[in-house]
Structure 1
Amino acid sequence: MPESHPVFADPGFESRHGVLARGYGHREDPEDPSAVLAMPLVLHIPKGEPPARSALLEAAAVATVALCLDPRVGKGEDGQPGVWRDAFLSWNDARIRKVSRRARGAHWRAAQDIDGVTVDRGGAQARAFVPGPVGGLDPRIARLQIGGTDLPDDDPREIPDGVPVLWVNAALGMTVGKAAAQVGHASMLLAGALDADSARAWAATGFRCAVRDAGRDRWSGLLARVGDGTAVPVRDAGFTEVEPGSVTVIATAS
C-alpha cells in the first residue's frame, strides 16, 4: 500500500516552508552532466487498466509538494538534520529539474523501497523520490522508461470549491511524463508562494488540488492573473518538448 503523507502539524513546518518560499536556482549547474541534480518521479501506469490522466497528474503534483515539505527534509526537534535534508537542499538550491518515468507490476513495487513519497489519487499513483545526481540513479529507477506511454485526455469532475487548481497549457500538447514534471513544479512553487499558515492549512488537507487543461481563452485569463500577481506560473527551461521560456502550468490557490 502507498505510504500516507503526514499532516504537517509539527513545529518544523515553518522552517521547511521557508526553503520553498525563498525560491530556487541559487547556483549554476555543475559542468559534469552526470552530476546535475534532479528529482525522479515514477508514474504507475498499469498496462491493463491505466489511470485517468488528470488523476495521475494530481498524484504527481501532490507527491512532489509532500516530499518538499516532509519532516525528513528539515530538522528534527533535536536540531539534527533529517535524513533527506542535505540532498533536498542541494537540489533546491540549483534548478528544480524533475524527470518522470513510468512503471508497472514488479518494477512499481520495487520503486516503493527507494526513499520517497507515494500518493494515490482516485486509484492513480505516483511516487516522488529524494533528488540526486542524474548519473547516480538507483538502478531500480534508471531502468524505467522515460517515454513510450501516454494517456488520453479525460473528462474529470467539476473542481471542488476552494481547491487549488494547476492549469496545464493545453496548446503545448505535453506528454503525460512532461506534464507530470510541470505540475510537480507548480505544486511546490504554489506552496512557496503561500504564506506559512496557508501552506500549513493546505498540507492539512493532504495538499488536495485539481489538475485541469486550459484552452486558449482560459489560458489568456490565467496569464492576466499571473500579471496581477494572483497566480503562479511555471516557465520551462526548454530542455525537452517545449520551447525555452514556455509557460507550461499556471497554479491558482482557488
Structure 2
Amino acid sequence: MSVLEPLAARYAEWLGLPAEETALPEAEPDQVRAMPVILRMEKATPPSRTPLLEAAAAAALAVCLDERAQPGGEWHEAVHDWVSGHIRKVSRRARGTHWVAAQEFPGVTVTVGGAEVRALVPGRVVDVPKEIARLQIQGSDLPPDEPPPAPDDLPLLLLNPEVPMTVGKASAQVGHGTMILASLLPDEELAKWAERGYACAVRTPSVAQWKHLHPGDDPAGAWRSRQVVAVRDAGFTEVEPGTVTVLAQYRS
C-alpha cells in the first residue's frame, strides 16, 4: 500500500463534494503535524522564483515516495500520520550556515536550475528542532520571473493568476499538487516520474487559460478526460478557505 493512499481516498471523495464538505476534524494543538520545506534564499545570489517552486514541488513528493517512507521504512509512520490528516507544509527560508545545518535533518534536497529546496520528514509542529524553528517564515518572497513555455512532457502546475501568493505559500501549494497527482497515478506512471526525479513545470497562466483548464462542476470528468486536479486550500494562511490555488495536470 502506498503511503499516499489516505490522500488518494480523500481526493476521490472530494471529486464530488464542495469545499465546505471536505474539511477534516481539527487536531489538538499539540498534535498538529506539518512538513518543513526549507527554501535556500542566499542574500547575494537569490534563486529565481519558478525554479525554486519546481524544486519545492518535487522535494515534497520525493519525501513521500522515498523508500524510507514506505511500509516498514524508518519514515513511514511519520509520513503516514501526516498524510492521514491536513496536509500542512511550513515553508522557511535559510541561507549560509543555516542552510547547511538543515541538511542534517531527515529529508530530501532537490535542485532545479540552481534553486535548492529541502523538504523534511513531517512531524508534530511542537517537536520541530530549534535549528529549523529559528528559520524565518515571513519574508519568503521573490519577484516574478519569465520562464520559457512549459515542456509538454512534464506534469504541469498552474498557479491561480487571480490569487497572489508569496513564494513560501506557493511552494507549499505546488507540493500539494504533486502529491495529489501521485496519489491517483498507477504504479507504472509513478515509476516513470521517479526516474525523472519528479520533475515538473510551474507556471502562472492567463485568466482565460486557468478557466479553460479548471475542473469547474465536473472534477471527476476533468481527471478522467485530461488528468487535471484542483488544489483547494484549507485557508490557514494568506487565502480564504476553499480557494483553488493550483491546478495540477499530469503529462508525460
Q: Which residue in 2 is equivalent to 1:11?
A: none
Give the direction of change, closer, same or farther, for the CA distance of 1:197–1:140 in structure 2 (3 Å limit): same
Structure 2 unaligned blocks of 5 or more: 12-21
What is the correspondence of 1:104-183 to structure 2 with a 5 Å cutoff?
Answer: 104-183=95-174
Give the direction of change, closer, same or farther, for the CA distance of 1:54–1:30 in structure 2 (3 Å limit): same
Give the C-alpha shift of residue 105 in structure 1.
Answer: 0.4
- Counterpart check, 1:41 vs 2:37: yes
User: For the residues of structure 2 that align with 1:220 and 1:38, how far apart are their CA atoms?
Assistant: 31
Query: What's the C-alpha RMSD, in Å, of the aligned pairs?
Result: 1.8
**In the comparison of the two structures, how many residue pairs are matched?**
235
SS at match of 1:87: helix
Contact 2:177 2:247 in 1 (8 A): yes
Tell me the alpha carbon deviations over residues 78-136 of structure 1, each in whole angstroms, 9 at most, x when there is no partner.
Answer: xxx21111111111111111110100000000000001100000100001111111111
The equivalent position to 1:56 in structure 2, one of 47, 52, 61, is 52
SS at match of 1:248: strand
Tell me the alpha carbon deviations over residues 130-157 of structure 1, each in whole angstroms, 9 at most, x when there is no partner.
Answer: 1111111011110000011310110112
Give the C-alpha shift of residue 16 in structure 1.
Answer: 4.2
User: For the residues of structure 2 that align with 1:183 and 1:116, how far apart are their CA atoms?
Assistant: 18
Q: Which residue in 2 is equivalent to 1:251?
A: 248
Tell me the alpha carbon deviations over residues 178-236 of structure 1, each in whole angstroms, 9 at most, x when there is no partner.
Answer: 00000010011011121221111111111111000122111101214764323011000
SS at match of 2:162: helix
User: For the residues of structure 1 that align with 2:106 and 2:187, how far apart are their CA atoms?
Assistant: 26
What TM-score do the two structures reach when normalised by structure 1? Answer: 0.87
SS at match of 2:93: strand
Q: Which residue in 2 is equivalent to 1:97?
A: 88
| Paired AA for residue 234 in structure 1 | V
- Counterpart check, 1:22 vs 2:9: yes
Contact 1:100 1:180 in 2 (8 A): yes
Give the C-alpha shift of residue 35 in structure 1.
Answer: 2.0
- Counterpart check, 1:213 vs 2:210: no
Q: Which residue in 1 is equivalent to 2:182?
A: 191
Contact 1:171 1:215 in 2 (8 A): no
SS at match of 2:90: strand
- Greater alpha carbon shift after TM alignment, 176-185 vs 221-230: 221-230
SS at match of 2:204: strand
User: For the residues of structure 2 that align with 1:204 and 1:146, how far apart are their CA atoms?
Assistant: 32
Give the C-alpha shift of residue 27 in structure 1.
Answer: 6.2
SS at match of 1:22: helix
| Paired AA for residue 73 in structure 2 | G
User: For the residues of structure 2 that align with 1:89 and 1:250, how far apart are their CA atoms?
Assistant: 24
Q: Which residue in 2 is equivalent to 1:82?
A: 73
